[in-house]
Amino acid sequence: MPFEITVPPAGESITSAVISSWHATDGAHVAKGDVLVTVDTDKVSTEILAEAEGTLKIGAQPGDEVKIGAVIGQILEGAAGASTPTAVPNPPKGDEKPEPTPPQPTARLAEAAPVPSPVPAPVPAAAPAAAPTPKIDLAVLPKPSAPAPPPASSDETGRITRQRMSPLRRKIAAHLVNAQQTAAILTTFNECDMTEVMNLRKLLQDGFVARHGVKLGFMSFFIKAVVEALKTVPSVNGRIEGDDLIINHFYDIGVAVGTERGLVVPVIRDADKKSFAELEKEIIHYAGRAKEGKITLEDLQGGVFTISNGGVYGSLLSTPILNPPQSAILGMHTIQQRPVAVNGKVEIRPMMYLALSYDHRQIDGKEAVTFLLRIKDCLEQPSRLLLEV
């Protein structure tokens, strides 16, 4: 009996997916657990694994949009993926001459009048006939009236290229427009002297790597600082839901990760209860999963606040957009050596601009500034993070 390959559910609001690529060809032999196909939804990419060993029969092509639960292929269980080998006659010995093989009738002859069959020679018993190949029920698949267009096309002059937006990119676009239209977004800025954090990393890096197996990065400091700021200004740790204001009493922090498919924001759960080493390991784990396209819907849900690091791309200053339904987002930027006044003297210090975008319907300007100053204080004096003062 064939195993049907169906599009798995990816969340209540997701009704369709796009076939991204097949990892095996039609008719190929696959083993149980092999990655068969990658499908993209408007939130995540999902790899579908083979549930049995057999021959793959593909029913939907890359670029096709299919419904959740649709059958996009089958695995013909027990098939070896290749035809049964034909017995090779023994080579002639000595002066023996091989008997000529009678010509096989062609398809054209088969359509003509019947031809008397020659006297059959004794042959071994024939193998049982193979079971007919079951057909995929294509009723659940879209039936385009014309062949699917290529992924990208250029005009005759080659001056432009047109291609269809991926579901993830379309979702990001709609998400950002919705954030701009439904929230009163305002941004406040400050700058942070990263000298103490950089000195602490340099002093403890070797011992940290030796003990925990990961490097001590900047993001764990920022996550800890954000948690302290959320505790100081609880109104930032909330969201508007209709006419209600919801205040969260937990600290699940989203960290934006850029991938080839677009920006995703995996969530680090209970960041207030995790050590620096645990935070760094989770950041590396989610970054790897995001780049491999293995982020799940559960990884992206439930965050109360987001941190976006445009500094890794060289951004000096930006105004991040909210990640609804959250009410605020912190933008990190590149560290730049700049002259600053320190105790009445001009010194060159590693400085970073910080940007906090927030929903002014929920958060007042005073609260936003206080929140950002708390982050600045925690980073300029990292001992505050350890002593929680």
Q: How far is CA 302 from CA 34, 91, 297, 315, 332, in A?
A: 31, 72, 10, 28, 22
> 313: which residues sit within 8 A by CB, 6+ positions away?
258
**Is the distance from CB of 14 to CB of 65 less than 8 angstroms?**
no
| 360 among known catalytic residues | yes
Q: Which DSSP helix (H) or strand (E) runs through 308?
A: strand 305-309
Q: Whole-angstrom Cα distance, residue 266 to residue 148? A: 33
| 359 among known catalytic residues | no
- Among 29, 252, 360, 377, the active-site one is 360
> 16: which residues sit within 8 A by CB, 6+ positions away?
41, 65, 66, 67, 68, 167
Q: What is the dihedral of CA 134, 139, 141, 143, to 10 degrees?
A: 120
H runs (alpha helix) in 147-253 = 167-182, 195-212, 219-232
SS3 66: strand
388: left (phi over 0), alpha (psi -120 to 50) or beta: left
Query: Degrees (nearest 5) of the Cα angle 98, 102, 105?
Result: 155
Largest CA distance in the chain: 113
DSSP per-residue letters across 84-101: PPPPPPPPP-TT--PPPP
Alpha carbon 35 to its chain centroid, in Å, reads 16
Q: Whole-angstrom Cα distance, residue 328 to residue 318? A: 14
Q: Whole-angstrom Cα distance, residue 389 to residue 386? A: 8
Catalytically active residues are: 360, 364
